[in-house]
Every structure is written in C-alpha cells, then in structure tokens.
Structure 1
C-alpha cells in the first residue's frame, strides 16, 4: 500500500462538494474536515517512523524489522492531564441533561446531548461514521489498520485517533455491549471473534440517514408504524383525567399502562393527552423483535412510543419497553397489568370509557352521501371510536363504488361490522344475518318484546350512561335476554333477526369449545368469550343454555361443588357484561332463578296455533315453485308442527319435487309433514296404528 501524500492535498476541505453542502449534512462534513486532518497527521507520523511504510506487501505479513519497531513503540502513554480530558468519567451519568447545541441544525451535537453521550462517545461515533459519508476515508483507514481489506475504523484505531491509550479500562468499556453507544443502537461492533482492538465499527444506516437529515423510519419498522388518529375532545367527566395525563407525559420521560375496558378507549385518551402536551409519538403494532429499532427511532426523533394492544405474551415487549428509561412509553391493553412482566413498573391507570362516536362524527366522515337514509338509526348499535369511524366510512364508500350505487345504510352497516371483527370466531360460530322481521311469525306479545330488546340495545348508552341509570357496583351496560319455548318455535331465528335489525353479526357459542372436564377451564373459556364480546359489536347466543346456566344444586360431592362454582362465576360475570347476550332454552324452569333476575327480558315462545301454522306454511312456500291450487289449510289444521318442523317438511317436499323436475305438489307437502311426525315418534293422521 502506498503512503498518502503528506501535504494533505486530497483533504475533504479542498473539495467543492463539501463547502456546497447545506442542512444537517454541513455540520457532519465540517467535522470530517477536522477528522481528515487528524487522520492525515497520524498517517504522516506512522509513515515517518514505520520502517515498512514503503513495503508493497505491508499489511499482509509482519517482518522482523516491523516487529522490532512495534516493540519499541509500545506502550505509548499520554500525560495525566490529557487523559483526564480525553476520557470522561464513565462510572456515573450526570443528573443534568447535556446542553443543547447552539445551532439546531447540528444533528450530531443534538443527538449527543439528548442521549447524554460523552465527548469520547461522540468522537468514536464520528470516526465510525466517516467512511459512510466520504469514501476517501476507506484507503486511509485501511492503511492505518495495516490491512487493505479492513476499510472501516476499528476499536484500536478509534481510540488512537482520540489520543486515548487502548489499555485503559474506562476507554475499552465504551465498546462493551452495555455501553451507551451500543445499547442506544448507535454503533455496532462487528467481528466479535477477533481481538477487541481489531473489531470493526459500523454505524447503522438509519442513524447515518438521520444525522444527514433524513427522517424516513427504519426499514425494519416498515408496516409496523401507524398514524395517530385526530384528537377528539374528551367528555366533560373525563377532562380532569385527560389534563393530568397530559401534564404527566409533557413533564418528562415516563411509562404509563392504560387498562381499557373497550378497544379504542385508551388510544383516544392518549391521543388527546399527547396533543395537549405538544408531544409527537410513534404508534407501534409489531412484535418484540422490532422493539430495538423502535426505541432507536424514538430516541433519534425525540418522540414517545404508543402501543395499543399488546401481543398474546406481553411480558418480553413490556419489559424491553419499560427498561428504556429515556423514552416515554405509553401502553394500552384490556388485560390487567402483571408485575411479572417487567422489573420497571409503569404507572398503571384505567382508561375512561369513551362514548361511542355519535351521529355528527359519522356524518362528518361519510359526507353528503349520508343524507339518503336515516343515519342515526343506522349507526346507533355501533360503539366505534373516531379512527374506526373514519375507516368504516372509507370502506362504506368503497363498497358503494363497487356496487355502482349511492351510499346506503347497508353499505355503512357492512363496513361497521368489518371494523368490529374479533377473536370470537375461535369460540363461537359466526352467522351473517340474512333475515328480517318479516320472517318471524309470532304472536304480538313475544314480537313486541323482541322489538323492545332491540330498542334496549340501541339506547343503552344514553339510558345507562348519559342518564346515569346504571345500578353501579361495577355493573356493565349489557343487554341480556332469555328465549324460552319448545324446539322449533323460532328462538334462534329471533336472535338472528335481532342481530340483523341492529346491523351486527350473530355468534352462536359452541358448548363443545367451552365445557372442559378439568376444574376451572370452563370458566376460563367463558371469560375469553365474554371479554371478546365486550369489545365487539355483535349478538352473542348461548343456544341450549341449560348446559351452563342451569340451576345450582345441593352440594353432595365434589362434582356438585365445582358445578356450583361455575354458576357463581357466570352470575358475577353477567353483572359486568357490556355486550348483547341471548340465551335459549326448551324449559325455562331449568334456568337458575339468580340468572333470571339479571335478565332484561324473558320472552316465551308459544307453540303455534292453527292460524299461525297456516302462516308458517305459506311463508315457507313463498319462494318455492308449486303446483296451482295447493291449499295448505288442511296441513296446518291436521299436523301440529312448530315452525322448525314446518320448514323441514317444506324442504323435504322441495327435494321430492326437484328429483322429478316438477313443482312442489300437495302430495309432496303431505309426505314432508308425515315424515316430521314419524321422526318425532308421533302417530301420523290417517295412518293405522299397530
């Protein structure tokens, strides 16, 4: 390797592109000029004293002459005064923050002050950064490293350029994995299999880009950062909480854990507090693997970190985020905080329950397209926040454009249901309602109760919240109903009609997925279902509810005791339930009286009389091709079938007729009705008994 010219004619200061630089890069390039002079001086010193300076194979082998030179030169010491200046005291960090740079455009100085870097740390960072900013440093570093292939600064070279002896423990500690440069993500020490002094130093590309004035987030966070929603004014009862939270996050670094009752409550509160405090934040929705890059991004851009919805195993993420005592961390999750998650406990608070976005918020998001239907009645069942309302409005507009029609209530309901998607499908069967009130054939009494149940679901927030008619004691705002009646009388269909009227999905709880033979597991499964239902705009249906809501019995053995514990849990959980739950049973007497007291409505489904059976036959045949002159009056009179049985008879008749490729005839319907009687073990009218 040839020796660089001693006159320094290739110095960075002589290149026009350095003097023409502007912005944050100018400060870095100005520093490179001084660093270039130090490197040139060291090269001149080495080339003057090194007997192998002119050897073309220098760096590829060590001669005896070079070995003698190294032995004569080591160790090289500095005066005590220079040591005190070059190596600051690293055993304790000062309490006062480092002073801000005079020029706000000097990002290196500003970053060093904000992250409390020492003078030595800042110099090492600049030395490691130099080859990424000016490629002419590569051959110079290769010469000083005595290896043409090693074109980055090494630990030993960095210390030598700083005038710090490499044998000092305080100096070597600046490159330890726990040292600030490395824990803050500003410096990477490579080649860990090599001796410490010959390990290469690299500045991550994101740090280089930031120091040069580029604030594009790290590539590792691509798709993991989401914008914060626009702040919403807090309800009057929550303004004091919001003000105190704003004072906290604006007063310095802190860690807060907000437990939310419903998804979106905490984000609304945090957004308002951050806006009031004038603090920007990174909203993160990734895994624990991206947390180091997230914290580095927050430090570089001086922003807080917001995580709403922790992973299934939150401990590792919470521990790593709360350990960063120099970054404001705001966490939100419906689960209670567990001290086992982290040794650095955040401040644990309960997020105030946010009122659902009212009609004005929906109208502002939907625009003039919402004038063509009753918007207030359409959005009343949904408890979406400001951000979810905006997303639902965009989805509704896209659905209308796809259909090629103006915006309708159906588009808004479908978009809102998509925003309420939840984890309920892991425990319940999802049904997209495809029926309406016209599909119900019931007496006026039960039908009126069903309409009242739907009315309660729409106006519960006003009555129980705004009018403060909640019973207190931690009770929720749920709507609970019991449908009792014989099999086939329309209980499940009624639940689907109510879900359709509210514009939400129906989730039928699978008893096989919740009942467990092990003690306590059934309660855990039920808790998962209730928790998801609390957070979702949906109707929850417990079909054949006797299995889990049955009467408690006298304790005669351990089985009775644990069965009663299960019932006691359900009684307590229904008190705090916030969703809509419907229970069906074939025998009302099987339901425990304590459950009945907690129900809003009990709807009895009577067995249909002849007139209602006639209406059910006609409704079942309304879309079926049938022969002319068919009269189902005799079938309704002679066959005492509930609605479910009549539907099954019509289906049987339809298959028989379809097999002949003919319309449904009277004989087909008669055969369908007879089969339903035979399935039930009943005597078929007109057939002889044996």
Structure 2
C-alpha cells in the first residue's frame, strides 16, 4: 500500500503542478482582457502517464482514456483535499465590486480554503467563450462520464439557482483510491441502494442439481467469452450487449451464493439490490436510485443481483390510479436500463409464478433452484461442519438428510446452532440431540411440524 500511495503522490504532484500552470495562464489572460478570454489551449503538452508507473491514479486515466479537459476538472475537484493552497489565488478581490470575482465561482466551506464550484471549472476551461462553456457544462452533468465513473458530481444546487453554482464534489470512493492507495466500493445508503456481496466458498463446494449447474455454466461462459462473441465474432449487431437471468426457488437454495461464486470465478464484483427497499414512495426517486447503480456498474464489470424481484416484476393489476401508473413507469425504466446494460443482471424470486409473463421473454436464461434432494442434503450436512469437530456416534446424518427436507441455508443454520452448543459446553463434539433440536427450531420458524 505504501508503494501505491507513493506512486499516487508522485503522479498527482506532477498533475497539480500542471493545473497550477493552466490556472496561471487563465488568470493572466483574464486580467489582460476579460471580455476576450479564450478557452485554454488543451491541445498542447500535458504530463505523460507511463504504463507501469504503479499509480492507481495513472492507471485510472489510461484505462478510461480521460481527456485533458476531464483531467483538469478532476484535479480541480481534488485540489482542496490534497493541495488546498493551490486555489488561494482565486480569493482575489474585485476592486470594483469589493467582493470576490463572480467569474471564479466557488462555494463557502468550513475549512477556510477555496472550494471550487462548477463555475470554477467553466472559468478555467472556457473563459468567456460561451460555446465552450456549454460544452464543459455538459461534461459536468449527471449521467456524463465523470459522473458515471463515480469520480465527481455537482452538489448542493439550491432550487432556482444556476447549475454552475453547485460545488465540484469528488466522490469518496475516488478520493479514497488516491489517498489510501486502494480502490473501495461505493457506500451503501438510500442514494446508492446496492451492497457488495461475496463468499469465501469455492465453486466446487456448490451443491445443486446438474440441470441448475448447467444453466449457471451458461452465465459463466458469457462472462468469460461474451466480448469475443459480440465483437470478434461480429454478433454485436444481432445481440444486446448484456445477459439477464432469472433465479427462482425457495429461500436458502443457493441463489445469492451462486451469483457470488460466478463473480468470484470470473473476477467480477457482485452488487446486491433489494428492490423492496429501492422502491420509493416519492415520484422519481426510484429511477434516480437505480440510475446511480447502473451508471457506476457500466464501466466496472459488476454483476447486478436484484433480490425480491417480485417488488417490481410481480403480476400486474389493472391500472386504476396514479400509483399504479407510476409503478408501471418504474418497471419500464428498470427494463430499459437492464436491456442497455453491458454486464450481467440477475433477478431473484422465490416463485417463478410471481413474475409477470410479459417479462419472461426478456430473460436470456431462467434458472430453477429447487429444494435439495436427499443425496444433495446429505452432502450439505457432511460439508456443514468444520474439520476440527467430531460427530456424535449417535448422529445418523444419512437418516437426518432423508427425514428432513431442508434447504442448504437452513442446514447451515442448524450446523451453526449445534456448533455453538458444543462450544458452550467446552467441547468439539457435535451432539445428535443438538442437531435434532436445531432442525426442530428451523421447522418451527417455517411453520412446519417435525
């Protein structure tokens, strides 16, 4: 990590020196003749970012082919965090109005330093050239590259105020990558309703019927060879860029685990979105929340796993009021984003029958996760307990597996209960009565008799 931080500091220092020189150039031109201040000459030389520099900052610029204008905007947003005095020159007082220059922008901060606004970026890059200002303003809009890449956004625009008055706010993820030397995922909150999920298990430990495993292999093959199929084999004009699958089956049968293992096997991060939480009572909020997830996933090769898909894709009733019409609008928005998304989207439901038939044709695969059969349950039981424990000779796992129809998730709950009971006794032996009691408790939770 120390090497990554050193590399980041080296490349950032060089780029911040470049920002300083460009800012000096802009101010010199402005004070010489404000009404004819031209755009910056960005076609000139800029600091090179050699491959293999070891800098996450340089790797980001190269990977996404960041333009000179985008690079300066990023540096402007970063300056208050890494070299705050760089922008002190923008505190210059206008002797005519006896206050700061409107042209320089800026917003009030708590630390005493100059906090750049979108107006600051417009001034730096475009000067007084209106056409260039409009081009730069578009670069700062939500949904454009810098926003989609989760680098920065324009924040805090008051109702009725110009968009350029908003603060140029760098994302915590991007700032953390530069200042901590490692990439971190976005923060889960009501504005970003997706949480990264993962597993320590291996693909070989997945206990599922052969038919289910075969369908999961199809998704795995898409993750590994989809780009080759679309671009090298020339099928991109006939197929949409992504892959959408429906996972259905009772709780605890391996839907989330399978998504995590697909991601692990193909080196993709998996983000889980609970649609029952995302759906907002406020008009427009559902679309905004989901848009943030798709915008960030677009360039990062994420697998998006939508749990409780019934919340939006359930059987539709006749539209009778504005709430029903808006619910249909939410569904249409999500379907559009899914169809445009170039990655893998998995929607999960407990029952296939809960999903509206009109949506089924949109899935490239529909994968059934049934309750495990007795042989599969026996394997789950045998693999549920750690190697360091011993099993009570009276514990007949084949009989337990045959007798009780339980999901893999439920079996793990029983194993946890029995193992904790053993630890509480100060032993490593898993007792038969603890397993039976654990089974009884789980069946009672589900409203079933032992």
SS in 2 for 1:682: coil
2:373 aligned partner:
609
| Structure-2 change in CA distance of 1:560 and 1:116 (3 Å) | closer
SS in 2 for 1:285: helix
Asked if the contact 1:489–1:643 (Cα under 8 Å) also holds between the matched residues in 2, the reply is yes
| Structure-2 change in CA distance of 1:115 and 1:452 (3 Å) | closer
* Of 209, 233, 237, the match for 1:467: 233
Count of residue pairs brought into register by the alignment:
348
Say yes or no: does 1:229 pair with 2:49: yes
SS in 1 for 2:387: coil
Asked if the contact 1:483–1:605 (Cα under 8 Å) also holds between the matched residues in 2, the reply is yes
Say yes or no: does 1:634 pair with 2:430: no
Deviation, structure 1 residue 264: 5.8
* Of 557, 570, 573, the match for 2:337: 573
Say yes or no: does 1:664 pair with 2:440: no
Asked if the contact 1:314–1:341 (Cα under 8 Å) also holds between the matched residues in 2, the reply is no
Asked if the contact 2:253–2:369 (Cα under 8 Å) also holds between the matched residues in 1, the reply is yes
Distance 1:455 1:448 in 2: 11
2:416 aligned partner:
651
2:113 aligned partner:
none
Deviation, structure 1 residue 624: 5.5
Distance 2:311 2:325 in 1: 16
SS in 1 for 2:390: coil
Segment of structure 1 superposing worse, 460-469 or 571-580 = 460-469
SS in 2 for 1:552: coil
Residue correspondence of structure 1 range 521-600 to structure 2 within 5 A: 521-600=285-364
1:377 aligned partner:
none
Asked if the contact 2:247–2:366 (Cα under 8 Å) also holds between the matched residues in 1, the reply is yes
| Structure-2 change in CA distance of 1:117 and 1:490 (3 Å) | closer
1:438 aligned partner:
204
Say yes or no: does 1:268 pair with 2:45: no
Deviation, structure 1 residue 284: 4.6
Residue correspondence of structure 1 range 291-310 to structure 2 within 5 A: none
Distance 1:430 1:449 in 2: 23
| Structure-2 change in CA distance of 1:653 and 1:289 (3 Å) | closer
Q: What TM-score does the superposition give when structure 1 sets the normalisation length?
A: 0.44
Segment of structure 1 superposing worse, 546-555 or 659-668 = 546-555
Residue deviations 1:250-284 (CA, integer Å, cap 9, x gap): xxxxxxxxxxxxx868952747xx9xxxxxx9685
* Of 113, 119, 127, the match for 1:316: 119
| Structure-2 change in CA distance of 1:677 and 1:335 (3 Å) | closer
Residue correspondence of structure 1 range 39-54 to structure 2 within 5 A: none
Residue deviations 1:618-664 (CA, integer Å, cap 9, x gap): 11124361235343011011111111111111111112221111211
Say yes or no: does 1:286 pair with 2:76: yes
Asked if the contact 1:627–1:665 (Cα under 8 Å) also holds between the matched residues in 2, the reply is yes
Asked if the contact 1:624–1:664 (Cα under 8 Å) also holds between the matched residues in 2, the reply is no
Asked if the contact 2:26–2:124 (Cα under 8 Å) also holds between the matched residues in 1, the reply is no
Deviation, structure 1 residue 292: 12
Distance 1:440 1:487 in 2: 16
Asked if the contact 2:414–2:435 (Cα under 8 Å) also holds between the matched residues in 1, the reply is yes
Q: Which runs of 5+ in 2 are unaligned?
A: 1-21, 38-45, 52-59, 91-115, 146-153, 155-161, 165-173
Question: RMSD over aligned Cα, in angstroms?
Answer: 4.3
Instruction: Work out which structure has the larger RCO, using CA pairs closer than 8 Å and 6 or more positions apart in sequence.
Output: 2
Q: What TM-score does the superposition give when structure 2 sets the normalisation length?
A: 0.65
Asked if the contact 2:49–2:62 (Cα under 8 Å) also holds between the matched residues in 1, the reply is no
Look at both structures and tell me which one has the larger radius of gyration over its CA atoms: 1
